[in-house]
Amino acid sequence: MSVVLLACLAAFVAAVIQRITGLGFVLVLVGPIVLLYGPLEGVTIAVLLALVASLTAIPLVWKQIEWRRTWWLIWPGLIAAPFGALLVRVLPEAALLLLIAAMAYFALIAGWLPALSASLKGKPGAVVAGSAAGFMHVASGLSGPPLAAYAVGDGWPQRRFAASVQVIFAVFSVVSVALRGLPVSPVADVWTLVAATASGILIGTLLSRHVSPRVGRIAMLAIAWAGATVVLVRGILALLL
């Protein structure tokens, strides 16, 4: 199978899972995409596709979006985002791989840290969570954990949070693309990945009526743990060789 075909499959599955669970697009995608394209180009492609996924999903969840809460998470992230871009530019490839793996593992265990959610409440919690999310989104595309932790700590209903976070992902992805630049891969390949992502969101919308979020979450965790582990191993090997 070609690199583009494998990447399209990963993007499609990630988009389906995001539509079913409300989260997890980059978490599922980052492992395969980094292995296929490398840490710099892989994450650049991932944040572009995250933008596509969010823009495709927003019209489907428009009525559930809470704009005021969303804004309080966005603006701190806009301030922190350039620091994520700076970090990416100064780190060598091996360090980037390890950074991506570390952020992926943090994304996977953040939900098991009650103290994290308990500390993120109200506007101060939104500023902290938004700043962390903006930084992480530019650096790795993985901005979900601090946002999800804030949602739990502040008692944000899951359905409204899952809708609102699509706007946050979209804004952070636009900023990430502006700071990181567009992918250097062939334009035809990028458009093929965009089509696969949009198709995954649409198919995921249909499947969400029949597949429980629990099943989607199990699939998301299995793929994400495997991807993070492979990226970690590759980073360690790159550091040693």
The predicted-structure confidence for 169-227, as pLDDT tens digits, reads as follows 999 999 999 998 899 999 999 999 999 999 998 898 888 777 777 776 777 777 778 87
Portion of the chain with pLDDT greater than 70, in percent:
95
CB neighbours (10 Å) of residue 142?
28
Q: Which amino acid is at 115?
A: A
Report the distance separating Cα 109 and Cα 87, nearest Å. Answer: 23
User: pLDDT value at position 140?
Assistant: 84
pTM of the model: 0.86
DSSP assignment of 23-66 equals --HHHHHHHHHHHHH-HHHHHHHHHHHHHHHHHHHHHHHGGG--
User: pLDDT value at position 238?
Assistant: 79
H/E stretch holding 153 reads helix 144-153
Report the distance separating Cα 114 and Cα 41, nearest Å. Answer: 34
Secondary structure (3-state) at 5: helix
Report the distance separating Cα 182 and Cα 124, nearest Å. Answer: 33
- Has residue 1 got a pLDDT over 60? no
User: pLDDT value at position 179?
Assistant: 92
Portion of the chain with pLDDT greater than 90, in percent:
34
Cβ-based burial of 122 (10 A; exposed 0-12, middle 13-18, buried ≥19): exposed
Higher-scoring residue by pLDDT: 165, 238: 165
- Has residue 75 got a pLDDT over 80? yes
Residue 49's pLDDT band, with cuts at 50, 70 and 90, is very high
Name the residue ranges covered by the structural domains of the chain: 3-240
Lowest mean pLDDT among 40-54, 145-159, 216-230: 216-230
pLDDT tens per residue across span 6-36: 999 999 999 998 888 777 788 888 888 988 9
Q: Which residues contact 141 (CB under 8 A, 6 or more apart)?
A: 26, 29, 30, 43, 46, 47, 50, 176
- Has residue 138 got a pLDDT over 80? yes
